[in-house]
Amino acid sequence: MDITLLLTSTVTLASGIPLTLLLTAASLLAGLVLAVPLAFMRASSRKWLSLPVLAYTYGFRGTPLLVQLFIIYYGLGQIGIIRSSVLWVLLRDPFWCCLLAFSLNSAAYTTEIFRGGIQAVATGLVEAAQAVGMSPLQIKRRIIFPIAFRSVLPSYANEVISLVKATSLASTVTLLEITGLSRKLVSETFAPYEIFIAAGVLYLGLTFLLTGFFHALEGRLNAAPRAKTPLGRVALQQVAHEQ
């Protein structure tokens, strides 16, 4: 093992961090925006609302992200209408394809996470809101969602960390984020140990930072001084959402 090479490649690969973070943050945001209404539909007792969402989450959670990415990046071009539409400007760009694939994938997991949280909100709390005369939208916005979000925060944190790791697939469609850069570097130097370990160290740093962030957020949202728990508790929870 060449320690100097390990250090220099860590520095080189660090230039891929912004793209990794951009892909993560943008997909996370898009996924969240999609997932919130979908989760309420999925939690609905009306079948015509919940079943289409179930089909979506089942499909996206039951197939590999790699296939989803390739369907979007390579597959959509096969459809003439898409090729001739304005959308093609975005869909032939690997960055936007990744963003679309990651967002849809993340939204599917996030939907199911939030669905669980929504359904776990005690009916009495909703009734108390109804009893003061709140509208259904007000109840969702001010009562159900905040309570659900707090209760699923550990699972959501896991989803965010999965997403950081999932962005490594962007390297398969030529994007030069951390993994893409490391593969390029390996093909030039053929020093896989140092370079991939350096990449792993960078990802580990990112996931640790995120774990710490969510841990702090959890403490803040629970708004009470809690007993100290070791950092990494969030990541140590099992990925309960992948059911």
C-alpha to C-alpha distances, 164 to 4, 43, 79, 168, 207, nearest whole angstrom: 27, 27, 30, 8, 7
Q: How far is the CB of 105 from other proteins (least distance, A)?
A: 11
Task: Render 161-222 in DSSP notation, one character per residue.
Answer: HHHHHHGGGGGGGT--SHHHHHHHHHHHH--HHHHHHHHHHHHHHHHHHHHHHHHHHHHHHT
Query: Does residue number 17 form part of the binding site for other proteins (CB under 8 A)?
Result: no
Q: How far is the CB of 211 from other proteins (least distance, A)?
A: 8
**Residue from 3, 11, 86, 224 binding other proteins (CB under 8 A):** 224
Binding to other proteins (CB under 8 A): which residues in 180-199? 182-183, 186, 190-193, 196-197, 199
**Residue from 26, 71, 176, 217 binding other proteins (CB under 8 A):** 71
The 10 Å CB-count burial string (b at 16+, else e) for 42-73 is bbeeeeeebeebbebbeebbeeebeebbbebb
Q: How far is the CB of 77 from other proteins (least distance, A)?
A: 7
Q: How far is the CB of 107 from other proteins (least distance, A)?
A: 17
- Nearer CB in complex with other proteins: 88/208: 208
Looking at the chain, which runs of residues are DSSP E strands? Answer: none
Binding to other proteins (CB under 8 A): which residues in 111-170? 122, 124-125, 127-135, 138, 142-143, 146-147, 150, 161, 164-169
Find the helix or strand (DSSP H, E) in which 1 lies: none
User: Phi/psi class of residue 232: alpha, beta or left (left: φ > 0; alpha: ψ in -120 to 50)?
Assistant: left
Query: Does residue number 37 form part of the binding site for other proteins (CB under 8 A)?
Result: no
What secondary structure letter does DSSP report for 243? -
- Residue with the two structure tokens 């803040």: 220
Query: Does residue number 209 form part of the binding site for other proteins (CB under 8 A)?
Result: no
- Nearer CB in complex with other proteins: 90/221: 221
Q: Which stretch binds other proteins (CB under 8 A): 27-35, 48-56, 65-73, 89-97?
A: 65-73
Query: Does residue number 65 form part of the binding site for other proteins (CB under 8 A)?
Result: yes
Query: Does residue number 2 form part of the binding site for other proteins (CB under 8 A)?
Result: no
Q: Rounded to an integer, what distance in angstroms lies between the CA atom of residue 186 and that of residue 202?
A: 16
Q: How far is the CB of 56 from other proteins (least distance, A)?
A: 13
